[in-house]
Amino acid sequence: MEVFRRTGAVVNINMPIAITNVVLLYGFFFIIDYAIKVRGITQRGFFCVDPSIHYTKKSSTVSSLEHRIYNISLMVLSVIIVEALRQFRKTNRSSDLTYRIGTTKIPKYLVAVLTFIGYSQVGYIVNELLVKFVKGFIGRLRPNFFAVCDPLPIKQCEIFDPNTYVDEYFCQGVEDDVEEARKSFYSGHSTVTMYCAFWTVLYLQARLKPALRNNVIVAILQTLIMAGGLFICCSRISDNKHHSSDVFVGIVVGMSLASISVSLIV
């Protein structure tokens, strides 16, 4: 059943269906997220002399909390501001429509904002679940794995061939940190950041450009947004949190999902 049903110039909003969709979306997220945690992380071994996992441990330039706050704020504030501008300039093609919930008239601006934010969240949640699943299933070791794990002396490496593959070892590091050090592929920071950045860029192209009628300003905003996203992505390599291939795949996945998400509504 559809959320919006149009009769002439009146669009009726089915609130029970809208609320059900939101509950199902976030319920789906928490259920799958829990299932991924229950499954655990694939325990991979390593080669004694593998230089790709012997980097030093560094703090994150942009923490997980900071990058999520930045990215969600970027999308939400962009929608709020752009839709307000479109309303002010009356560039909405649906300006002749009236939105109602029952007999209550709902502002077109509010409908537009909630609709775009809602669709952005569908792609965001799919992105989050996909990267969580892949991280746990692949279990690729981060560049700083040895520094975080701090394994007990391994006889195979000390006595036998240093090129030996070791799959039985004990980490002395903090358990939660060691678990995180097994989640290198692919980069969560990169895929979430580039999803939000590219989604916003595409949204601005479709909604701000017609309202502003200034290609230069729109292009500058889009460039700054993408530059900010790429900075966060590159910081994951310089912080020894990810291999370059992790970041590259994260960028591709994030931008691909953003393209699909925007195509559903714009």
Are 120 and 112 spatial neighbours (Cβ–Cβ below 8 Å)?
Answer: no
Identify whether the C-beta of residue 242 lies closer than 8 Å to the C-beta of residue 183.
Answer: no
Catalytic residue list contains 67: no
CA atoms within 13 A on the CB side of 157: 15
Closest CA to 84 of 108, 107, 109: 109
Residue 172 per-residue DSSP state: -
The single residue of 54, 67, 242, 243 carrying the catalytic annotation is: 242
Environment class of 154 (CB within 10 Å of its CB; exposed 0-12, middle 13-18, buried 19+)? middle
How many other CB atoms are there within 10 angstroms of residue 223's CB atom?
Answer: 11
DSSP state letters, 45-113: -EETT-GGG-PPP---SS-HHHHHHHHHHHHHHHHHHHHHHHHHHT--TTTT-EEEETTEEE-HHHHHH
| Cβ neighbours of residue 170 closer than 8 Å, sequence gap 6 or more | 151, 152
Instruction: Based on the residue annotation, tell me whether 242 is a catalytic residue of this protein.
Output: yes
259's enclosing H/E stretch is helix 244-263
Catalytic residue among 54, 67, 189, 243: 189
- Residues labelled as active-site residues: 189, 242
